[in-house]
Amino acid sequence: MSKIIKNIVALTLIAAAITGCSSKKNEPKKQEVYTPTFTCKQEGVAAPKWTCIPEVPGYYAAVGVAEKSAAGIAHMRRVALMNGRSDLAQQIESKIKDKIEGFTRATGNGSAETVDKVTTAVTKQVAKVDLKDSKAIDMWNAPSGAIYMLVSVPEASVNKEVKKIYKKTVNSSFKNDDALWQQFQSKQALENLEKEFPSD
């Protein structure tokens, strides 16, 4: 009788072990979730995120930096603002060039040569756009004494100026070809221009 009990106990333990192993094999593996963390650092210390990634919704934004100067903080602010505006101008010119090339080709306004001509003419004039609406919206002092300045300009005001320049340039470039000019003036072309450069 005790042999039978021992056998039953042994079989029960083996069954439990097998069941335990099989349930472990069926468990789905837990995947580690990667949660990236970004810490902006300037001069080896934590700095505001905008000093690394200048972003302001509805605005073009850039960072201007001025090294510590014996000329004083007022001079440093002017230098940082000037550097920020210079960066803004380059950034705007690059974005506008991409948008105009895409818009002009998408609306079928002329050959690649005409598109390049218009794009070049517009970007040259855009580079001259006065950034009078640009202003400093934040500033951070680095350990070295340098200042970082967040400079921005409303997208709407830049886009309004770009559309004006674009229409004027296209007018002079395409006026000689009535079919192309009429195509540009079509409602769809003007609606697409508004989508690319919203100003309201």
Write the pLDDT tens digit of every residue in 73-128: 999 999 999 999 999 988 888 877 777 666 666 655 555 566 666 666 666 666 56
pLDDT bucket at 195, cuts 50 / 70 / 90:
confident
- How far CA 35 is from CA of 32, 38, 82, in Å, comes to 9, 10, 37
| 41-195 CATH | 3.10.129
Q: What is the pTM of this model?
A: 0.64
pLDDT at res. 7:
64
pLDDT at res. 193:
67
CA atoms within 13 A on the CB side of 40: 11
Q: What is the mean pLDDT of residues 125-133?
A: 68
pLDDT at 63 over 80: yes
For residue range 177-188, what is the model confidence (pLDDT) as tens digits? 555 555 555 555
